[in-house]
Amino acid sequence: MDRILLGNEAFEGRNNAYVLADDDTLALVDTGVATESIREDLRAGLAERGYEFADVDDVVLTHFHVDHAGLAGEIQAESDATVYVHEADAPLVAQDSDAVAAVRDRRRELLVQWGVPDDARAELLHFFESHDIQGQPAEPTPIEDGEVLEVGGRTLEAVHAPGHAAGLCWFETERGAEAFVGDAILPVYTPNVGGADVRVDRPLEKYVTTLERIVDRDYDRVWPGHRDPIENPTERAETILEHHRERTAEILEILRDHGPADAWTVSARLFGDLEGIHIVHGPGEAYAHLNHLRHEGIVSLESGEYRVLDEAAEIEGHL
């Protein structure tokens, strides 16, 4: 698979932009962050292949996060490319003011609910304000689960895979043996759930369903949004599922050992001190698991704190 390696120091590590081309058309799957260094990486990678931004016919976005969609608007402005993204993420790629404000307000609301201290919330706000990586807005073409795209000489089927983001999709190739998976699974890190997209209701349950779909598809290889290809995606998805079972059990044990706690306190016991984007990712991850335990009737939520209801409960069968 032809990919352009892009730097990324703010999020999950090196990004990938995949190049799909035939004699007539050129497409990109994801674009990287809208910073000058990444813009230069992408332009140089395309130039090595005899292309420039103006030659791009289609941009396929796995989800709205800026390290995947940041340069889509700029590419579209130079090329008039069609930008495809799932309908749930399309308003954020378009930078619709109401959609952006709703995410900002929901994040602020949750940070308070999770018990994040004022100084940490201020640090997170500074992180967002000091990282001008949103890029230009695009005019996206919304797609749905199961939609088939003909781009860059390839046939791609969109598979909706919420959890990490409300509109995350992976794109299955025409032979069904491989897929571009964005952040549905990653080769090194486990994709964040809970904090990465505060719009997602019951994020852990949705992400577990996504992982189970990957296991069911049993791909030969997948191409993630970060780092190197995953040669055994079924095994990797099963490993991440087991990680979340263990994490849920660990959080339950924290509540049993230390008493009722909010998501920030649980996060501190899991991850220690947090900075930058992890100020929302850490308690968001804790919240996703605590929220799941609450819906399973194992813990309750009272005045912002989670407390164990079933002291004998085991995670087996609940995740």
Please check whether residue 119 lies inside any domain of the structure: no
Which runs of E-coded beta strand occur in the chain? 3-6, 15-21, 26-29, 58-60, 82-86, 140-143, 148-151, 154-160, 169-173, 178-182, 221-224, 299-302, 305-308
pLDDT exceeds cutoff 70 at 99:
yes
pLDDT exceeds cutoff 80 at 288:
yes
Contact present, 299 and 263 (Cβ < 8 Å):
no
109, exposed or middle or buried, with CB in 10 Å at 0-12, 13-18, 19+? Answer: exposed
The answer to which of 131-135, 167-171, 204-208, 252-256 has the lowest mean pLDDT is: 131-135
Please check whether residue 298 lies inside any domain of the structure: no
Please check whether residue 154 lies inside any domain of the structure: yes
Residues with Cβ within 8 Å of 88's Cβ and at least 6 positions away in sequence, in order, are 162, 166, 167, 199
Please check whether residue 184 lies inside any domain of the structure: yes
Q: What's the total number of domains in the chain? A: 1
Distance from first CA to last CA of the chain, Å, rounded? 35
Please check whether residue 303 lies inside any domain of the structure: no
DSSP-based three-state secondary structure for 125: helix
How high is the pLDDT of residue 209? 97
Q: Which residues of 133-157 are buried (b: 16+ CB within 10 A; e: fewer)?
A: bbbebbebebbeeebebebbebebb
pLDDT over 90, % of the chain: 88
Over residues 46-93, the pLDDT tens digits come to 999 999 999 999 999 999 999 999 999 999 999 999 999 999 999 999
How high is the pLDDT of residue 9? 60
Q: How crowded is residue 261: how many other Cβ atoms within 10 Å of its Cβ?
A: 21
Please check whether residue 78 lies inside any domain of the structure: yes
> CA-CA distance, 268 to 228, in Å (whole number)?
30
User: H-type helices in 49-190, by residue range?
Assistant: 66-69, 72-79, 90-93, 97-113, 118-130
Q: What is the CATH number of the domain that holds 163?
A: 3.60.15.10
> CA-CA distance, 52 to 74, in Å (whole number)?
12
pLDDT exceeds cutoff 80 at 314:
no
pLDDT exceeds cutoff 60 at 156:
yes
> 177 lies in which domain range?
3-103+130-232
Contact present, 6 and 32 (Cβ < 8 Å):
yes
Please check whether residue 314 lies inside any domain of the structure: no
pTM value? 0.95
pLDDT exceeds cutoff 60 at 110:
yes
Mean pLDDT in residue range 273-285: 94
How high is the pLDDT of residue 176? 86
Question: Could you tell me which residue, 311 or 243, shows the higher pLDDT?
Answer: 243
Please check whether residue 301 lies inside any domain of the structure: no
